[in-house]
Amino acid sequence: MSNSLLFSPFTLPSPQGGLTLANRIVIAPMCQYAADDGQATDWHLAHWTNLLNSGAAMVTLEATAVTEDGRISPGCLGLWNDATHAALQSNLHRARALAPATPVCIQLAHAGRKASSARPWDGGQLLDLDNQGWQTLGPSNVPHLSTERAPKAMSVQDIADVTRAFVVAAQRAQSMGIEAVELHAAHGYLLHQFMSPLANHRDDAYGGSFEGRIRIVMEVFQAVRAVYTGVLGVRISACDWVEGGWTVEETTRLSALLKAQDCNFVHISSAGVSPLQKIDVAPGFQLPFARAVKVATGLPTIGVGLVTDPQCAEDALVRGDADLIAIARAVLFNPRWPWAAAAQLGGQVVGKVNYLRSQPLQARHIFSNQGGGQR
């Protein structure tokens, strides 16, 4: 039996009962820019099958737009109509059938003023209206870059419409058996834009004070919580890394308010709302933010950010920085990262039976469902 915390179970609460994860490794949401009019494609089938066979305890699907104009790029995944629903459901169900039973989380998102962007390999910049682009929305008519086309400042009706879109997307997710939903309030996208005084210059009930700037986040959360009975959490940028921006203290206050509304976890990242950000990047650089929230609120907390070494992940849990560790690009580079971590730390994962003969001699312990053979 392993003494590794990374390979110990953890239970996330929810209204319909706890969701017990086999270990503390979560795959973070990572955009693939491979959708067709918001619809999942063969790329998603292959990608999700790969991630679901990684040995992680839960896989989070990429930022999934709740409206067509909420996509980051023309290639981003969506869940706003029957066509996007059918494509996501079909590909996800096929992927899950080809992997060990693994809980799935979906990140629901709206990109706000950072929508209508080219794919990263096409430059990632704001697209012209006559070249696949569209009019973006934001809390104020303040562009992300000063040289860009300004977003439309959202009316109260626009806010209500987007809130409703989050609700409908969550209902669609629940109908296809997705066990968890993560609302995206990080990385400079719409909900984060409202939270940050750098992007939110409103003088109505949705701006100004801390309470005004978080109002849309609370309204979206409460509306989704009312209809979604699975595990529900929020990804938050803990700070903007710019003077005068959103702060760690505000993140802690928001997390406490979310907890009071039956939020089941927070996923603590940072940055994204301003091109002026100056980030002190280093392995595990965001873990102190997760620890601050965890200590202050007691909410189940996911830590993320350049945690690429299994021992680093283990040490973070031992220190109490987080309850779960999210792995992102490291698992794209090494799709069996959790297997390697199990071999290094003495843990175990469940493998698809087709792969049970794959472990090297020095790591023959890693599959908890090891058995059988062939004459």
Catalytic residues: 189
Report helix angle 248-260 to 215-225, nearest 10.
Answer: 30
Q: Cβ distance 331 to 27 under 8 Å?
A: yes
Amino acid at residue number 370: Q
Burial of 283 (0-12, 13-18, 19+ CB in 10 A): exposed
Buried b / exposed e along 93-112 (16+ C-beta atoms within 10 A)? eebbeebbebbbbbbbbbbb
Q: In the chain, what is the straight-line distance between the N-terminal and C-terminal CA atoms, in Å?
A: 29
CA distance 184 to 187: 8
Report helix angle 337-345 to 310-319, nearest 10.
Answer: 70
Could you tell me which residues come within 8 angstroms of residue 213 by beta carbon, excluding any fewer than 6 positions away? 194, 195, 196, 197, 200, 206, 207
Q: Cβ distance 248 to 294 under 8 Å?
A: no
The residue among 332, 334, 333, 338 whose CA lies nearest residue 351 is 338
Q: Report helix, strand or coil for 318.
A: helix
